[in-house]
Amino acid sequence: MTAGAASWLPLSAGERSVAIEVLVHGPLSRSDLARRLSLSPGSLTRLTKPLIESGLLIEVADGGAPAEGRQGRPSQPLDIVAESRSFLGFKVTEDMVYGVVTTLRSEIVARHDRPLTTHDPGEVADLLGEMTAELAHAHPRLAGIGIGVGGLVQGRAVVGESPFLQWRDIPLAALVEERTGLPVVVENDVAAFVEAETWFGAGRGLDRFVVLTIGAGIGYGLVLGGRRVPSDGEDRDFGRRWILDPGGPLTPDGDRGSAVSLLTIPSIRYQIRAATGRDHSYEEILAGAAAGEPMPARVVDEAARALGTLLAHIANFAMPQKILLAGEGVGLMDVARDTVDETIRARRHPLATPVDLETRVSDFHDWARGAAVLAIQVLVLGAVDG
């Protein structure tokens, strides 16, 4: 068992708003901070004093260095002490656990992965406990743990359903807390990834933002007013039910012509295997399509048109300022970007504002980082209502 969590006293609503503003947008001068939060100078002083005394905030020079040796002057910008606490983030997949240690600003400072050889909940919790103990030796000021799992998560504590792990109603947070002595937050992996991108990534500062992930499955997250729209699990069949081509392929997972059947890596590999009788990796299929091999080219072209249609639908209905396309399946864009762009244009009004589309091939450490951000939000700031 690790040492107890290194944490701060609970924050009031006003203190929390100040801490979040500085965390996401700092360093900030007091005048800028007061303007952003519509606070009087006196109110801001009252709220920042305990944050500075607790070590969460620090006065810095204009260049960002600590303002050491100076008596507190209102002109000194305020910043978060990012290295004052560390957070663990875990992404649990069907056969691996990916772990990261982050600072308070979500910078990854360590990675640690272990194979997952069992889906027994107790043994998975044992593994997470072992990984936590190993990482705690080098990072003793751990404040909490975030765990991302594909599936439905209830109350940020219980995995209600996870098809990949074949779990139902597993109290994962309690199991890991028992083994580590640290507070634990469990969340759907896509939701955690969206939170990280909203606070520290592609969606930072945006009012309307969408994350679409393609890989082993399809993930979707919507941010409105700068806050992630909670799903309560109703979007877990998002990709299976969104029909992009009624005459499209029928695969073992997802309805005919659905986003899952057309876009996920397992479905694309299944289509090639069914047509050729041979198994190929996703990378081999993309390479074959790029080289003009007929079957891979047909499947990849069909997937690209489906992706363009899906992105156009999202842009038409959600009207986001930006869409982040991420996940291990984003290599599709390297091969078929022109087809995706052409399809988006065909599915939107000619005078519509072009879609601001950012693509990123994210690995599972990015997903683990998202879980760590959830730990920062919930355990330190108590800031998420999703």
**How many angstroms separate the Cα of 94 from the Cα of each of 17, 115, 165, 187, 380?**
37, 9, 6, 16, 29
pLDDT 10s digits, 20-55: 899 888 899 999 999 999 999 999 999 999 888 888
- pLDDT at position 9: 59
pLDDT 10s digits, 71-117: 444 568 999 888 888 999 999 999 999 999 999 999 999 999 999 99
Task: Report the range of poorest mean pLDDT among 66-70, 283-287, 312-316.
Answer: 66-70
CATH architecture of 204-360: 2-Layer Sandwich (3.30)
- pLDDT at position 361: 82
pLDDT band at 67 (very low <50, low <70, confident <90, very high): low
What's the rounded mean pLDDT across residues 182-210? Answer: 94
Burial pattern 117-138, b for ≥16 Cβ within 10 A else e, equals: eebebeebbebbbebbeebbee
Phi-psi region of 150 (alpha: psi -120 to 50; beta: other; left: phi over 0): beta
**Any idea where the domains of the chain sit in the sequence?**
13-83, 85-195+366-381, 204-360
Task: Report the range of poorest mean pLDDT among 63-67, 117-121, 331-335.
Answer: 63-67
- pLDDT at position 327: 92
User: Mind giving me the DSSP string for 333-353?
Assistant: HHHHHHHHHHHHHHTS-TTSP
What's the rounded mean pLDDT across residues 164-190? Answer: 95
85-195+366-381 has CATH 3.40.50.300 classification: no
What's the rounded mean pLDDT across residues 206-228? Answer: 93
Look up residue 40 and give its two tokens. Answer: 């009087």
- Fold designation for 13-83: Arc Repressor Mutant, subunit A (1.10.10)
Task: Let me know if the fold of 85-195+366-381 is the same as that of 204-360.
Answer: yes
Look up residue 176 and give its two tokens. Answer: 């890991």
Backbone Cα Rg of the chain: 23
Owner of token pair 């393609």: 214
What is the percent of the chain where pLDDT is above 70?
91
pLDDT at 215 over 70: yes
Using CA atoms, how far apart are residues 253 and 234, in angstroms rounded to an integer?
18
- pLDDT at position 175: 98
Q: Give the chain's mean pLDDT.
A: 89
Using CA atoms, how far apart are residues 156 and 142, in angstroms rounded to an integer?
19
pLDDT at 234 over 60: no
Q: Are strands 78-80 and 86-92 parallel, antiparallel or unpaired?
A: unpaired
pLDDT at 261 over 50: yes
pLDDT band at 193 (very low <50, low <70, confident <90, very high): very high
- DSSP, collapsed to helix, strand or coil, labels residue 76 as coil
Q: Are strands 108-115 and 142-149 parallel, antiparallel or unpaired?
A: unpaired
Alpha helix (H) ranges present in the chain? 13-25, 30-37, 41-53, 121-138, 172-180, 189-200, 238-241, 259-263, 265-276, 282-290, 294-318, 331-346, 364-375
pLDDT at 235 over 70: no
pLDDT at 245 over 70: yes
The whole model's pTM is what?
A: 0.86
Using CA atoms, how far apart are residues 208 and 109, in angstroms rounded to an integer?
30
Are the beta carbons of 345 and 305 closer than 8 angstroms? no
- Per the model's pLDDT, the better-predicted residue between 54 and 134 turns out to be 134
